[in-house]
Amino acid sequence: MSQVHYGHIYHVTGAPKVTDAADALVSIPDGALVIDDEGRITFCGNRSEAPEDSGTVFDHRPGFILPGFVDTHIHFPQTYAGDAYGGGQLLEWLNLCIFPSESRFADKDFAQQAAVEFCTRRIAAGTTAAMVFGSAFPHAQDSLFAETLRVGLRVVSGRGIQTQGGETATPLMTSEEDAIRLTREEIEKWHAADTGDVATALLHVAIVPRFSLSVTTETLKNLGELYDEVRDRGVYVHSHLNENNRPGTGEVDSTKDLYQVNSYLDTYDGKFLPGSTVGGKSLLGRRTILAHCVHCQDVELERMAETGTSISHCPVSQQFLGSGTMPWKRTVASGVNISAGTDFGGGDEWLISKVLSDAFKVHISEAGDAGVSMHPGEMLFLGTLAGARALDMEDRFGNLDVGKEADFIIVDPSQTPTLDAALTNLTRSDDPKLASDQELFALLMGIREPAITEVYVRGHRVEAT
Ligand code: GUN
Ligand code: ZN
């Protein structure tokens, strides 16, 4: 049965660059979204212009209809590791808190319970699609994929690959052979397992080396070869890049020392260990997402733009771990697609709108000419359409254009008293366009989980059960 939803619609239409997102922002105060039996959008516009008898009516007024949020970097095995005190920045936090915490997923029941919790948190946050950094344990990944399918969310994920590290990382590490075998098995088992066709599937698999410090050159070389084999099947790649640059002992310097490269990105680009025989195929491409990219050189940004590799920008986590701020203007100018990630548990928020709110705050605070006041249209773009683009599924979801699969959320401000009060008493400009932008800004800044009352993927209501 087709359906029609009434409410105030905000979305970023078409396929703009982030610099054009403000102009592409659409606001339809008395809007209607019509969805056919297959879960596709057939109309998005003024309620008065909607086709008659469009199907079952869901009246959300005075609530809002937004595209579902897309989180392009979140850690499943850190479901219970948010706000972990690590006594330091990235590398200390990983060794002290995160590796031991992720090791608990060796227990099948614990991993299954975490998969349920993880999906519940995603539904509460309205995250309809996500690139999920997976657990090292195949049974935990089985739980994640099965539970995600059961509730009806989208996911791209792969087991976190580690073949070297210190003592606390040992339970997460495998042999070189197993690193490749287990990833290959995960692809065969779960990639497009729900429909058998990558173009229609909700489930996709990624190749996920944790970061260059967690794998050997041999692993990267073997993963490059594996990716070369499966790239055309729509398999993804996910990892971290240039997150922490504490001089001498931070992630960036340690990686360059270990691999003897001038650019961290080279390690993912098959160009490690120059002058040696160890090198190989690239892991970069239009289905590759690298998280953070706070400290990139121009050559790295150029190479990412050239290959279509996307960034997952995670300002909540970057503050929590003292990683710094991805330079917004410079990164945008490079032409690389920038999407948004919670990086939960490095980040301590599940909500992409909280990531957008922190993005606004950190970028307006950048020094001198670098500081920028993000437009609410750019913020919404970052948390929705740019994420769909990073997942190479922009043709399927990310906004509410006719023909797309209907991934959307209902926001009912009355469920969050502070948001409700802010919107009710908002001082609006006399200029209608500015007034509309001001309302969206207040909405994005003020959404908390209780205000997200309904979540739909491909036209199906997704509920935690
Ligand atoms: N780099 C390698 N592993 C991790 C992780 O789990 N979280 C973050 N934020 N960075 C990483
Ligand atoms: Zn991360």
Per-position pLDDT tens, the chain of length 465: 799 999 999 999 999 999 999 999 999 999 999 999 999 999 999 999 999 988 999 999 999 999 999 999 999 999 999 999 988 899 999 999 999 999 999 999 999 999 999 999 999 999 999 999 999 999 999 999 999 999 999 999 999 999 999 999 999 999 999 999 999 999 999 999 999 999 999 999 999 999 999 999 999 999 999 999 999 999 999 999 999 998 878 999 999 999 999 999 999 999 977 656 677 999 999 999 999 999 999 999 999 999 999 999 999 999 999 999 999 999 999 999 999 999 999 999 999 999 999 999 999 999 999 999 999 999 999 999 999 999 999 999 999 999 999 999 999 999 999 999 999 999 999 999 999 999 999 999 999 999 999 999 999 999 998
> Does residue 211's CB lie within 6 angstroms of at least one atom of ligand 1?
yes
Ligand lying closest to the C-alpha of residue 81: 1
At 169, list the tokens: 């990382």
Residue 94 Cα to ligand 1 middle (Å): 7
- Domain 3-67+400-461 belongs to what topology? Urease, subunit C; domain 1 (2.30.40)
Return d(Cα 289, Cα 283) in angstroms, integer: 10
Q: Which of 379, 344, 343, 386 is nearest to 363 (CA)?
A: 379
> Does residue 454's CB lie within 6 angstroms of at least one atom of ligand 1?
no
Q: CB of 286 within 8 A of CB of 308?
A: yes
Ligand lying closest to the C-alpha of residue 86: 1
> Does residue 294's CB lie within 6 angstroms of at least one atom of ligand 1?
no
Residue 324 Cα to ligand 2 middle (Å): 14
Q: Which helix (H) or strand (E) holds 258?
A: helix 251-259
Q: CB of 194 within 8 A of CB of 188?
A: no
Return d(Cα 339, Cα 341) in angstroms, integer: 7
ipTM of the complex: 0.99
pLDDT of residue 47: 98
Return d(Cα 431, Cα 247) in angstroms, integer: 49
Return d(Cα 112, Cα 143) in angstroms, integer: 5
Question: What secondary structure letter does DSSP report for 29?
Answer: E
Return d(Cα 120, Cα 139) in angstroms, integer: 19
What are the helix (H) ranges across 165-250? Answer: 176-190, 217-230
Return d(Cα 227, Cα 396) in angstroms, integer: 24
Residue 21 Cα to ligand 1 middle (Å): 30
> Does residue 60's CB lie within 6 angstroms of at least one atom of ligand 1?
no
pLDDT of residue 327: 98
Atom of ligand 1 nearest to the CA of 345: 7
Give span(s): CATH 2.30.40.10, the chain.
3-67+400-461
Q: Transcribe 370-429 into DSSP letters.
A: G-----HHHHHHHHTHHHHHHTT-TTTSSS--TTSB--EEEE-GGGSHHHHHHHHT----
Question: What secondary structure letter does DSSP report for 40?
Answer: B
Residue 33 Cα to ligand 2 middle (Å): 35
Q: CB of 120 within 8 A of CB of 398?
A: no
Atom 3 (ligand 1): residue with closest C-alpha?
210
> Does residue 75's CB lie within 6 angstroms of at least one atom of ligand 1?
yes
> Does residue 102's CB lie within 6 angstroms of at least one atom of ligand 1?
no
Distances (CA, A) of 132 to 140, 158, 201, 342, 374: 13, 7, 16, 10, 26
Give span(s): CATH 3.20.20.140, the chain.
69-365
- Domain 69-365 belongs to what topology? TIM Barrel (3.20.20)
Atom of ligand 1 nearest to the CA of 211: 2
Atom of ligand 1 nearest to the CA of 323: 9
Ramachandran angles phi, psi of 100, nearest 5°:
-60, -40
Global pTM value: 0.98
In SS3 terms, 340-371 reads as ECCCECCECCCCHHHHHHHHHHHHHCCCHHHC
Label residue 36 exposed, middle or buried (CB < 10 Å: 0-12, 13-18, 19+). Answer: middle
Collapse the DSSP code of 226 into the 3-class scheme (helix H, G, I; strand E, B; otherwise coil) and give the result: helix
> Does residue 94's CB lie within 6 angstroms of at least one atom of ligand 1?
yes
pLDDT of residue 277: 64
Q: Which of 371, 345, 368 is nearest to 359 (CA)?
A: 371
